[in-house]
């Protein structure tokens, strides 16, 4: 066992504060990782504050982890000490159901093990995440990083924000000739814009923050629509193949459904704590439109996404923060005041 220095929430209403706990010693197929940076996802906030239902406390969030291999178990073949690696939203799954066999571990029939606020497969011990100085992970759930080491902090958000947008873009075959919308320019949204543009799609960004227009174009959007402006929205009726909605709060989906063309799909990836109002049926049946959902991506697809981003020079636009600033960062995230992902420098976890 080794002592981890971390930040944890002790209840839904207390700010995150310093916390120490014991990590398991690496087993034969485990990789021990010194965490260098960890991205701050809106899911961290939803969980720490029990917005998705009661979390287990103490809760150490963080699932956009990058770092360096510190030690490997005797049967580890993919990694060696010193390698730069990443860990995303999952650290294990049952390994024998059909989704696991198909490389879709996030949809494991027996419940994947999330990086935090989840249960280990055998021991059922609560998992503690990346707002900590090291972590021990089953090698199958560790990703190789081929970006330049200097970009490491900006690679961290790819492990959740990157894969969560990459996966539906691949599933619905975003590419040249397709008109793709991204709703919300936050952590997920800005990765969605960059990745969809790199795939060759015509990207339109929907925002509630008119001040983000210039950034959206710089990131790869060809058009920007202020979603609260009805006349700007009306121009795009019946024209989208695919819209990825990343918004973290409950809102009316109908205005976005109306923008889909025949057989178009609105994919929900944003996961608000309270449901969206039910969409109108006529918006769907009159053009055989679909509303779908998507959750992160499998391990093989996450590696594919990291390699795709390295090949296309894609990283996240980040603001690096010290660990003690995490509570301030959460408040700014709630005000959509993030450009476009906070990343914690884990060297600061011990103050």
Q: Which residues bind ligand NAP (CB under 6 A)?
A: 41-43, 46, 160-161, 164, 184-189, 207-209, 212, 246-249, 251, 269-272, 294-296, 333, 336, 338
List the single partner that 134 binds among ligand NAP, Zn ion, none, CB under 5 to 8 Å by kind. Answer: none
Minimal CB distance residue for ligand NAP: 186
Q: Please give the Cα distance from 55 to 119 (Å, whole number).
A: 12
Cβ nearer to Zn ion, comparing 62 with 67: 62
Query: Which sign does the torsion angle of CA 104, 205, 211, 251 carry?
Result: negative
Residue of 238, 243, 252 whose CA lies nearest to 286: 238
As measured in angstroms, the least distance from the Cβ of 261 to ligand NAP is 23
Least separation, in Å, of the C-beta of 108 and ligand NAP? Answer: 14
Task: Assign 293 to helix, strand or coil.
Answer: strand
* 302 lines the binding site for Zn ion (CB under 5 A): no
Q: Which residues pair with 72 in a beta bridge?
A: 31
Residue 48 within binding range of Zn ion, rule CB under 5 A: no
Q: Which of 31, 35, 36, 41 binds Zn ion (CB under 5 A)?
A: 41
Q: Residue 102 in contact with residue 83, Cβ under 8 Å? A: no
Q: Could you tell me which of 240, 271, 89, 96 has the C-alpha nearest to residue 178?
A: 240
Nearer to Zn ion, 204 or 296 (CB): 296
> Residue 42 burial (CB < 10 Å; 0-12/13-18/19+)?
buried
For the segment 306-335, give every residue that binds Zn ion (CB under 5 A): none
Q: Which of 36, 43, 189, 216 binds Zn ion (CB under 5 A)?
A: 43
User: Is 160 a binder of Zn ion (CB under 5 A)?
Assistant: yes
Residue nearest to Zn ion (CB): 41
Size of the site for Zn ion (CB under 5 A): 3
Is residue 289 helix, strand or coil? coil
| Neighbouring residues of 250: CB distance < 8 A, sequence distance ≥ 6 | 272, 274, 275, 276, 277
Which of these ranges, 159-167, 212-220, 239-247, 285-293, lies near Zn ion under the rule CB under 5 A? 159-167
- Using an 8 Å Cβ cutoff, are 36 and 152 in contact? yes
Q: Is the C-alpha dihedral spanning 199, 202, 206, 209 positive or negative?
A: positive
Residue 198 touches which of Zn ion, ligand NAP, none (CB < 5 to 8 A by kind)? none
- Return residues touching Zn ion (CB under 5 A): 41, 43, 160
């Amino acid at each position: 066992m080794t002592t981890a220095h971390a930040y944890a929430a002790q209840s839904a209403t207390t700010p995150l504060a310093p916390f120490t706990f014991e990590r398991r010693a690496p087993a034969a197929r485990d990789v021990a990782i010194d965490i260098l940076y960890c991205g701050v996802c809106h899911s961290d906030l939803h969980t720490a504050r029990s917005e998705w239902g009661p979390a287990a406390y103490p809760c150490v969030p963080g699932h956009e982890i990058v770092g360096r291999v510190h030690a490997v178990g005797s049967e580890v073949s993919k990694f060696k000490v010193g390698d730069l690696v990443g860990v995303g939203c999952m650290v294990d799954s049952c390994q024998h159901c059909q989704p696991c066999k198909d490389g879709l571990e996030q949809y494991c029939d027996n419940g994947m093990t999330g990086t935090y606020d989840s249960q280990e497969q055998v021991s059922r011990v609560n998992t503690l995440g990346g707002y900590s100085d090291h972590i021990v992970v089953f090698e199958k759930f560790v990703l190789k990083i081929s970006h330049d080491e200097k970009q490491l902090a900006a690679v961290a958000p790819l492990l959740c924000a990157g894969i969560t947008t990459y996966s539906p873009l691949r599933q619905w075959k975003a590419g040249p000739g397709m008109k793709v919308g991204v709703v919300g320019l936050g952590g997920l949204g800005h990765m969605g814009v960059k990745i969809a543009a790199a795939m060759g799609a015509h990207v339109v960004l929907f925002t509630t923050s008119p001040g983000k227009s210039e950034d959206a174009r710089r990131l790869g959007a060809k058009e920007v629509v202020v979603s609260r402006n009805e006349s700007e929205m009306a121009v795009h009726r019946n024209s989208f193949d695919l819209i990825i909605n990343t918004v973290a709060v409950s809102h009316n989906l109908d205005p976005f459904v109306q923008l889909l063309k025949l057989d178009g799909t609105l994919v929900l990836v944003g996961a608000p704590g309270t449901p969206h109002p039910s969409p109108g049926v006529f918006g769907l049946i009159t053009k055989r439109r679909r509303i779908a959902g998507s959750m992160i991506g499998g391990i093989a697809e996450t590696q594919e996404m990291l390699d795709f981003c390295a090949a296309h020079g894609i990283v996240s636009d980040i603001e690096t923060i010290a660990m003690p600033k995490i509570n301030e960062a959460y408040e700014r995230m709630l005000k959509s005041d993030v450009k476009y992902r906070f990343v914690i420098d884990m060297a600061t976890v011990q103050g």
